[in-house]
């Protein structure tokens, strides 16, 4: 196993130097060939996927797990379309971030460059395999992919089909590596290969992410969870605020940018809370409240300490009445997950304070938390939403999959 991993990462590093030479046109043509290959091999992919589904049913995995695992005609078309969409995005590689000339004549350029080799660790969805291959290839990074053991047949066939497509395009190296050895040790060994792997992106539940962070000597960019807040300030457009709260909670409660907590300024609480409950009741949202909220809204459940940290991903929301914006900001910074938080206010100064002092990737003013998304930001496809502060924060598109280098050109200058 040790030799298998060491050979794999060395090959990946060598391949990264070859991939760095490909220009955008070449990369886009290959992405199109990969996209076509998925469609051309649909039957073979569905056949292998059926094996995973059968095994999952035998292993009594949950229906929602099997849903995520299942490919069908529509999903394979979406996977193919994603690869073509990525081909259409602007290539960040080689773009100058800044350029200037120093008094001694040195021309200094900070230029976007590939990170190198990126390990992605994920769980059940086989479409993640082709999505990651597309984004990493377009940003000139070599992908090492480790999917969940329950989707192994699907991942293998997707890898095989795309490898074939790459070979047919005349490339003499592999731009991605699928780690299909089911042994858990493979991950442990990979996480120590900091000389050959530049970045790890874990995509999955909290247990997986903690394991990666605790064991990796490679930099990790992660997304722990989305405990998103809305703060209703004392002066607020009530109608808009109600619409935003409902949208943020009910439009898609299972995703990380759905609102989980609503904080209401004490001066707005008495009139706003009954109106809010009235709206949320229409969608059967379960409300939990702090003691002050419970006094205003009779009959709701009482929030416990752990509720303030909880990511429900369900039609549940916890509401708290706060003294002022200071308490709202402190609460969000302490209990939140630094993902996305929104203030609803007519007060411009409070909006400024909120966006300056709330320590989150996305600080919103007068909009739904649901807008925290790469597509909504105009970044194109995203590989995830980072709740980290280093390198990438918030939605991660192609640019966030790059590093930079300093290219400095002169004409014989020496340092005195």
Site residues (CB under 8 A) for its own copies, limited to 172-211? 194, 198-199
Alpha-carbon distance of 346 to 326, in angstroms, equals 17
Out of 59, 72, 217, 291, the only residue in the binding site for its own copies (CB under 8 A) is 217
Out of 120, 395, 397, 401, the only residue in the binding site for its own copies (CB under 8 A) is 395
384-124-19 Cα angle (round to 5): 55
Tokens, residue 38: 């998925």
Out of 172, 214, 306, 349, the only residue in the binding site for its own copies (CB under 8 A) is 214
The region of 37-45, 177-185, 285-293, 391-399 touching its own copies under the rule CB under 8 A is 391-399
Name the residue among 52, 46, 56, 208 with its Cα closest to residue 119: 208
Q: Where are the beta strands (DSSP E) in 194-339?
A: 199-202, 228-232, 259-265, 286-289, 301-302, 316-322
By CB under 8 A, the residues from 264 to 323 that bind its own copies are none
175-165-397 Cα angle (round to 5): 50
Out of 30, 31, 35, 116, the only residue in the binding site for its own copies (CB under 8 A) is 116
**Is residue 147 within 8 Å of residue 155, measured between CB atoms?**
yes
List Cβ neighbours of 334 (8 Å cut-off, separation of 6 or more). none
By CB under 8 A, the residues from 338 to 377 that bind its own copies are 351, 355-357, 359-368, 370-372, 376-377
With respect to its own copies, which residue has the nearer C-beta, 205 or 410?
410
Q: Which DSSP category does 40 fall into?
A: H
Give me the least distance between CB of 87 and its own copies, in Å please: 21
By CB under 8 A, the residues from 219 to 258 that bind its own copies are 219-221, 237, 240, 243-244, 247-248, 251
Q: How far is CA 171 from the centre of its chain?
A: 30
Binding footprint of its own copies, residue count (CB under 8 A): 73
Give me the least distance between CB of 196 and its own copies, in Å please: 12
Give me the least distance between CB of 245 and its own copies, in Å please: 10
Give me the least distance between CB of 174 and its own copies, in Å please: 18
Give me the least distance between CB of 62 and its own copies, in Å please: 28
Give me the least distance between CB of 416 and its own copies, in Å please: 8
With respect to its own copies, which residue has the nearer C-beta, 65 or 371?
371
Out of 2, 43, 170, 412, the only residue in the binding site for its own copies (CB under 8 A) is 412
By CB under 8 A, the residues from 15 to 34 that bind its own copies are 16-17, 20-21
Give me the least distance between CB of 18 and its own copies, in Å please: 10
**String of b and e for 130-142 (b: at least 16 CB within 10 Å)?**
bbbbbbbbbbbbb
Backbone angles phi, psi at 395, to 5 degrees: -60, 135
By CB under 8 A, the residues from 56 to 115 that bind its own copies are 94, 100, 102, 106, 108, 111, 113, 115
For every residue of 131-150, DSSP letters joined together read: HHHHHHHHTT-EEEEE--GG
List Cβ neighbours of 64 (8 Å cut-off, separation of 6 or more). none
Name the residue among 130, 118, 143 with its Cα closest to residue 87: 130
């Amino acid at each position: 196993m040790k030799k298998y991993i060491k050979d794999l990462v060395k090959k990946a590093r060598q391949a990264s130097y070859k991939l760095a030479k490909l220009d955008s046109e070449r990369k886009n043509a290959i992405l199109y060939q990969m996209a076509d290959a998925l469609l051309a091999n649909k039957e073979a992919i569905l056949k292998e996927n059926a094996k995973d589904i059968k095994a999952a049913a035998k292993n009594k995995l949950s229906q929602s797990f099997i849903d995520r695992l299942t490919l069908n005609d529509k999903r394979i078309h979406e996977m193919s379309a994603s690869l073509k969409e990525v081909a259409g995005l602007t290539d960040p590689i080689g773009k100058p971030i800044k350029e200037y000339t120093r008094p001694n004549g040195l021309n200094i350029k900070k230029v976007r460059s590939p990170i190198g080799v990126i390990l992605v660790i994920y769980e059940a969805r086989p479409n993640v395999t082709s999505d990651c291959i597309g984004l990493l290839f377009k940003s000139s990074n070599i992908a090492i992919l480790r999917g969940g053991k329950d989707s192994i047949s699907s991942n293998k066939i997707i890898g095989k089909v795309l490898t074939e497509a790459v070979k047919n395009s005349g490339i003499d190296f592999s731009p991605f590596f699928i780690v299909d050895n089911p042994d858990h040790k493979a991950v442990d060994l990979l996480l120590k290969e900091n000389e050959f792997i530049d970045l790890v992106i874990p995509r999955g539940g909290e247990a997986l992410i903690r394991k990666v962070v605790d064991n990796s000597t490679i930099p990790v960019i992660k997304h722990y969870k989305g405990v998103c807040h809305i703060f209703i300030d004392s002066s607020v457009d009530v109608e808009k605020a109600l619409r935003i709260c409902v949208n943020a909670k009910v439009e898609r409660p299972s995703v990380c940018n759905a609102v989980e907590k609503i904080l209401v300024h004490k001066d707005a609480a008495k009139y706003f809370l009954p109106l809010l409950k009235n709206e949320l009741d229409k969608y059967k949202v379960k409300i939990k409240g702090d003691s002050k909220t419970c006094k205003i809204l009779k009959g709701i459940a009482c929030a416990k300490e752990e509720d303030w940290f909880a990511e429900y991903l369900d039609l549940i929301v916890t509401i708290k009445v706060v003294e002022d914006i200071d308490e709202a900001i402190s609460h969000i910074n302490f209990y939140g997950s630094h993902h996305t938080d929104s203030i609803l206010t007519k007060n411009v100064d409070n909006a400024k304070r909120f966006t300056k002092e709330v320590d989150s990737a996305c600080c919103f003013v007068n909009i739904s938390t649901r807008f925290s998304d790469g597509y909504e930001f105009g970044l194109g496809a995203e590989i995830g939403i980072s709740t980290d502060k280093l390198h990438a924060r918030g939605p991660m598109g192609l640019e966030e999959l790059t590093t930079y280098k300093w290219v400095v050109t002169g004409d014989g200058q020496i340092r005195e």
